[in-house]
Amino acid sequence: MDPKNIKKGDNLVYHNRVLKVVKIQRNKKLDDMCVLAKPYFVTRTGLMTSFSIPFASMAEGNIRKLMSKTSVEKLLRTLQHETVHDGEKINVSDVVFAELTTEDMITMLQLFWDEKAQDSSKFATSKKLLMNRLLRSLSHIVGAAYSISLEKAEDRINKRLEKRIVKIIPKEE
C-alpha cells in the first residue's frame, strides 16, 4: 500500500483492527512522515490508544485500507455458502493472526464453523478462542464498513454462519 494515498478520515486495517486516520505529520525523530490514527471502535472504557505509524513501516506491516461496503458484503455472502473441503483442520499454533487478510479470516471462520458443527464436543478450546477472535476482528471490519455497532456487525456475521449450518447439517426430525 502506498502511504501517499492515505488522507485524514481514511479507515485503515492494522493488525486486524480498524483505525481512523486523524492526521498525517512528520516525525522529527524518525525523519519520516507518520500516520496518526485512533481506533474506530473503542472496546474498553478509557482505552483510546493512538497509533503513530511511520510511512517506512507501512509496507512491512499488514496495513491496508478498509474494504468498501460492497466488497465486505461479497465476502459476507461467502460465509453462508456451502463449500466442499477435505475436512482440513487448522493448526492453531501455526496461525499468525496479525498477518491474516480479511479473506483468510473468512476462510478460517468457515472451517472452524464447519468443524464445530460436525462435532462440538471435539472442538478444542484453543480453536474456540481463535474462532471468537476471528469473529471479533471481522466484526470490526464489518462494523466500520457498514457504520454499525460491533454488536450489530457480529449479529450480521452470525446470521450468515447460521445459514451455513442449515445447508451443511441436515435438520433432524
3-state helix, strand, coil in the chain (%, to 5): 50, 15, 35
pLDDT at 92 over 60: yes
pLDDT at 8 over 90: yes
- 63 confidence band (pLDDT: 50, 70, 90): confident
89 forms beta bridges with none
Q: Where are the beta strands (DSSP E) in the chain?
A: 11-14, 17-27, 32-39, 51-54, 63-65
pLDDT at 47: 62
Other C-beta atoms within 10 Å of 173: how many?
3
Q: What is the pTM of this model?
A: 0.82
- The answer to whether 42 and 18 have CB atoms below 8 angstroms apart is no
pLDDT at 139 over 80: yes
Instruction: Name the one residue in this structure whose C-alpha cell is 464445530.
Output: 116
Domain 3-65, classified CATH 1.10.760, yes or no: no
- 33 confidence band (pLDDT: 50, 70, 90): confident
